[in-house]
């Protein structure tokens, strides 16, 4: 049976959402999901994707419109209500109870829904087998990598009898390997008859997985498509015109070294994560550090920041040694972490967060509200930040706007050395372009950039030189001219 013949599992009609602070996030949106369908939800940052799905999952109430699930009009009192009827949501940063084993997490979850916990081990292993992976019930959830947590969360949803699973940007925090495993899982879910709503910014995932795509733009539905998808059309519907400005090469004879790493070795819990790594970053250049995530990049970055103490070797930022994180910022370092929650206090306001990044990093202790508002205005004017106002909680911004807040506040500080880790993670096409242009123009103005990214295209596009890291070692440093997917691929193999 094709999707069009079957009665839809879910129908959302004329959904409107106005947040209490007056932000109109959705306007008259229709959305439908068939049984066993993978339905992708696309749209630029702040388009309303998460809002629509939080309404479907009962996390927030719509201002208007109706939801029909299995032909019945429903009104959720909360997520437990949606869950008990067969709708589950898997978050980008999976929320499991820390300090507990996987088994205890699942037990707790089932009991809280009033569901049976008998034969749990057996049921879990059956579900996992259907999905094509294994679950270690004795593992502590805190020790699981993101991909494994996500699998636990998916199993959890099926234990609760989910007929529809919402995945909100499920691959943003995954390694490429984990992302491939997830896409296999999504296909299995589909063949089991479970429907999936798949939010993503990656068009190749849409092409691989989706039976249908709905595109949102500023809270309004602008199109629904079935395969074969036309990438350009999808992208242009999301954002309108995209500025793909190629950038000239930066030349800088006699440039100063802003970062010098020599023979750095970092040992974490007895394991050598970085082995005799040497790297230099000069002012005005972008040095890309490519490699599959988990090959020592994180430990290298943490050592540069003064968070990890190297076992041996030397690190100098602008000619000085780093002992504490404070030193890094004082000397003129800037940092964009791969995980934006590292840089933001989500329950504090946008303006306070901006000020913390802008001033506090350099040691200023007294922050005036007027300074904060000025910064906020610069972020809105210069960086396209969209927020209800300076005192809105940072946690209320869409994911992409949170990223703009971090990147923009760092950029305004004009650091001499910028360490940027996956700076465009979770950003839509237009914002990605914006952030890349911003990093390039910072380099043009003299900032030396260490760009750590698991996105090879990003590294190739931005970098003047590219270093490759594999199993803790720098396996090569090549110029932009020599670099290609192939040469880097070979170096990544170690």
Ligand X SMILES: Nc1ncnc2c1ncn2[C@@H]1O[C@H](COP(=O)(O)OP(=O)(O)OP(=O)(O)O)[C@@H](O)[C@H]1O
As given in the structure block, the two tokens for residue 43 are 């749209």
Please say whether the beta carbons of 479 and 465 come within 8 A.
yes
- Does residue 386 bind ligand X (CB under 6 A)? yes
Least Cβ distance, residue 386 to ligand X (angstroms): 5
Does 398 interact with ligand X (rule: CB under 6 A)? Answer: yes
User: How many residues are listed for the chain in this entry?
Assistant: 494
Instruction: Specify the residue, 17 or 35, whose C-beta has the smaller distance to ligand X.
Output: 17
Residue 200 near which of ligand X, Mg ion, none (CB within 5-8 Å, type-dependent): none
Q: Which of 9, 25, 124, 318 binds ligand X (CB under 6 A)?
A: 25
| Per-position x/- string for 115-154, each x denoting binding to ligand X as judged by CB under 6 A, each - no binding | ----------------------------------------
Single out the residue of 291, 288, 236, 255 nearest to residue 440, CA to CA: 288
Q: Is 45:199 a contact under the CB 8 Å cutoff? A: no
Cβ of residue 405: shortest distance to ligand X, in angstroms?
Answer: 11
CA dist 440 and 432 (Å) reads 12
Tell me the sheet residues that pair with 449.
286, 418
- Convert residues 42-71 into a mask of x (bound to Mg ion by CB under 5 A) and - (unbound): --------x---------------------
Residue in 18, 31, 22, 33 with CA at minimum distance from that of residue 64? 18
What residues pair up with 223 in beta bridges, in sequence order?
A: 215
> Binding string, 375-414, against Mg ion, x = CB under 5 A?
------------------------x---------------
Residue 422 near which of ligand X, Mg ion, none (CB within 5-8 Å, type-dependent): none
Judged by beta carbon distances under 5 to 8 A according to partner kind, the member of ligand X, Mg ion, none in contact with residue 179 is: none
Binding segment toward ligand X, per CB under 6 A, in 5-13, 173-181, 291-299, 394-402:
394-402
Q: How does strand 286-290 pair with strand 448-452? A: parallel
In the complex with ligand X, the residue whose CB is nearer, 223 or 313, is 223
Neighbouring C-alpha atoms within 13 Å toward the C-beta of 11: 11
58 binds, among Mg ion, ligand X, none (CB under 5 to 8 A by kind): none
**Which residue is it, tokens 């910014």?**
201
43 binds, among ligand X, Mg ion, none (CB under 5 to 8 A by kind): ligand X
How many chain residues are in contact with Mg ion, going by CB under 5 A? 2
CB neighbour burial string for 252-272, b if at least 16 within 10 angstroms, e if fewer = eeeeeebbbbeebbbbeeeeb
Look at residues 129, 458, 140 and name the one whose alpha carbon lies nearest to residue 291: 458
- CB neighbours of residue 193 within 10 Å: 11
**What is the Cα Rg of the chain in Å?**
23
Residue closer to Mg ion by CB (options 399, 423) is 399
Q: Which of residues 32-61 bind ligand X (CB under 6 A)?
A: 43, 45-51
Residues pairing with 106 in the sheet: none
DSSP SS3 for 453 = coil
204 binds, among Mg ion, ligand X, none (CB under 5 to 8 A by kind): none
CB of 219 to ligand X, least distance (A): 7
* Residue 441: CB minimum distance to Mg ion, A: 27
Residue whose structure tokens are 């940072």:
394
Q: Which is nearer to Mg ion, 305 or 387 (CB)?
A: 387
Binding interface with ligand X (CB under 6 A) = 19, 21, 23, 25, 43, 45-51, 386, 388, 396-401, 428
Binding interface with Mg ion (CB under 5 A) = 50, 399
């Amino acid at each position: 049976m094709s999707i069009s013949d079957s009665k839809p599992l879910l129908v959302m009609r004329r959904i409107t959402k106005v947040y209490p602070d007056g932000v109109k996030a959705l306007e008259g949106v229709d959305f439908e999901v068939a049984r066993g369908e993978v339905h992708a939800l696309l749209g630029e940052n702040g388009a309303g994707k998460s809002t629509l799905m939080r309404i479907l999952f009962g996390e927030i109430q719509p201002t208007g419109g109706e939801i029909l699930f299995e032909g019945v009009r429903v009104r959720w009192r909360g997520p437990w209500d949606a869950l008990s009827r067969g709708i589950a949501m898997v978050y980008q940063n999976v929320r499991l109870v820390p300090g507990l084993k996987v088994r205890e997490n699942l037990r707790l979850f089932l009991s809280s829904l009033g569901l049976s916990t008998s034969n749990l081990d057996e049921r879990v292993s059956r579900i996992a087998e259907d999905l094509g992976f294994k679950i270690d019930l004795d593992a502590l959830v805190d020790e699981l990598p993101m991909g494994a947590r996500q699998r636990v969360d998916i199993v959890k949803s099926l234990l609760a009898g989910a007929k529809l699973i919402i995945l909100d940007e499920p691959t943003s925090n995954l390694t490429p390997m984990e992302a491939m495993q997830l896409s296999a899982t999504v296909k299995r879910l589909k063949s089991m008859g479970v429907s999936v709503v798949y939010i993503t910014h990656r068009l190749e995932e849409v092409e691989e997985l989706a039976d249908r795509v709905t595109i949102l733009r500023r809270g309004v539905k602008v199109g629904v498509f079935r395969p074969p998808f036309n990438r350009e059309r999808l992208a242009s519907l999301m954002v309108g015109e995209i500025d793909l400005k190629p950038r000239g090469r930066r030349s800088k004879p006699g440039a100063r070294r802003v970062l010098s790493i020599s023979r750095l070795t970092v040992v974490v819990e007895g394991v050598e994560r970085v082995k005799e790594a040497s790297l230099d970053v000069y002012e005005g250049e972008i040095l890309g550090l490519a490699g599959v995530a988990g090959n020592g990049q994180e430990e290298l970055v943490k050592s540069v920041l003064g968070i990890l103490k190297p076992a041996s070797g030397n690190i100098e930022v602008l000619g000085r040694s780093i002992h504490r994180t404070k030193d890094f910022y004082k000397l003129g370092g800037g940092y964009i972490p791969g995980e934006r929650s590292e840089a933001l206090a989500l329950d504090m306001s946008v303006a306070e967060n901006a000020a913390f990044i802008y001033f506090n990093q350099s040691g200023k202790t007294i922050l005036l509200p007027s300074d904060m508002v000025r910064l906020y205005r610069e972020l809105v004017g210069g960086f396209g930040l969209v927020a209800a106002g300076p005192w809105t909680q940072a946690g209320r911004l869409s994911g992409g706007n949170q990223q703009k807040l971090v990147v923009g506040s760092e950029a305004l500080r004009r650091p001499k050395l910028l360490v940027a880790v996956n700076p465009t993670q979770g950003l839509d096409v237009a914002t990605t372009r914006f952030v890349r242009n911003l990093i390039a123009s910072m380099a043009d103005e003299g900032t030396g950039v260490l760009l750590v990214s698991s996105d090879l295209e990003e590294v190739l596009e931005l970098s003047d030189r590219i270093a490759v890291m594999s199993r803790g070692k720098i396996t090569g440093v090549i110029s932009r001219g020599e670099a290609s997917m192939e040469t880097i691929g070979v170096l990544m193999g170690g």
